[in-house]
Amino acid sequence: MPLRLGVNIDHAATLRQARYARDPESALIEPDPVAAALVAEKAGADGITAHLREDRRHIQDRDIFRLKEAIGTKLNLEMGNSADILAIALKVRPHDACLVPENRHEVTTEGGLDCLAHRAALVPTIRQLQEHGIVVSLFIDPEPDQIRAAADLGAEYIELHTGAFANAVGDARPHELQRLIDGAALAGSSGLRINAGHGLNYDNVRELDAVPHLEELNIGHAIMARALFTGLPAAVAAMKILCGAYPDGSRGR
Ligand code: PXP
């Protein structure tokens, strides 16, 4: 199975909000994250990812409903575990929901979800999402205890947090890669399906060829940053080629 590319279009909304957050009815509003999603799909994205944050700093509620209507691939909604966001998710019914930790002051998602500490709150959320036909993923660090807890919670997928790997330099780099390799091996043997994301870019993504069982990468910042210079279609297509080089399980990893 080829490695899928989920393109995170949050930063198209970041750019829009930078100018129009205080003037949401303006006829001049741009760019439209839904238009970005459609361009990304046309360039080969296998799915669109968007994070509806509690502070609505980029993606707005309306964007999520419009994305669900407009896109032809699948919508992966990244969401914190709060009642108001859950209510929106149950209305929108994205194909996937990826539960992430959320802290208002973070610039982006920093650590993985703590499935042990928040188990009691996660159980009913996961159940409701699944009852609405939504595939649940838990965004976690490659920690054995977290992986076992995610499996115990009955999530279909985990998304391995690749941020520590992406930021690691020197001796820390092979160490962080090995944590991802070991985490993926444990998750695979625990019956979990595995995505990965955060901090991935055109330089580090091929290092993940060593990590087994990956099905999908969710990548935002690097693609949008490159798109400023090459255009979004070329930026998506270039990342798709890198994903295409991931060793296929059927070729005997
Ligand atoms: N996956 C998850 C769960 C995230 O929270 C983010 C950041 O919104 C990403 C992937 C994409 O990270 P980046 O923008 O660094 O590619």
Taking 50 as the threshold, does the pLDDT of residue 252 lie above it? no
Ligand 1 centroid–CA 204 distance in Å is 15
Between CA 123 and CA 113 the distance in angstroms is 13
Specify the fold of 4-21+28-244: TIM Barrel (3.20.20)
Active-site residue, from 78, 102, 143, 159? 78
In this prediction, residues 162-190 reach a mean pLDDT of 98
User: What would the DSSP string read from start to end of 160-194?
Assistant: EE-HHHHH--TTHHHHHHHHHHHHHHHHHHTT-EE
Ligand 1 pocket by Cβ (under 6 Å): 8, 10, 51, 78, 98, 100, 108-109, 139, 159, 197-200, 218-222
C-alpha distances (whole Å) from 155 to each of 151, 184, 215 are 6, 15, 15
pLDDT for 107 equals 55
My answer on whether omega of the bond before 31 falls inside 30° of 0, hence cis, is yes
Q: Is 252 left (phi over 0), alpha (psi -120 to 50) or beta?
A: left
Mean pLDDT of the chain: 95
Average pLDDT, stretch 184-206?
Answer: 98
Whether 51 sits among the annotated catalytic residues: the reply is yes
What pLDDT band is residue 102 in, cutting at 50, 70 and 90?
Answer: confident
Is residue 134 within 8 Å of 94, Cβ to Cβ? yes
Question: What percent of the chain clears pLDDT 70, i.e. is strictly above it?
Answer: 94
* Pair type for strands 96-99 and 135-140: parallel
- The structure's pTM equals 0.95
Phi and psi (nearest 5°) for 219?
A: -135, 130
Contact 220, 7 (CB under 8 A): yes
CA-atom Rg of the chain in angstroms: 17
- pLDDT at residue 109 is higher than 90: no
State pLDDT tens for residues 113-160: 999 999 999 999 999 999 999 999 999 999 999 999 999 999 999 999
Atom of ligand 1 at shortest range from CA of 224:
14
C-alpha–C-alpha distance, residues 184 and 142, integer Å: 8
- Segment (H or E) for 98: strand 96-99
Task: Summarize the confidence of residues 3-18 as an average pLDDT.
Answer: 97
Residue 179: what are its φ and ψ, rounded to 5°?
-60, -40
DSSP string, 104-124: TT-SS--S---TTTTHHHHHH
Residue 159 near residue 188 (C-beta atoms within 8 A)? no
11: annotated active-site residue: no
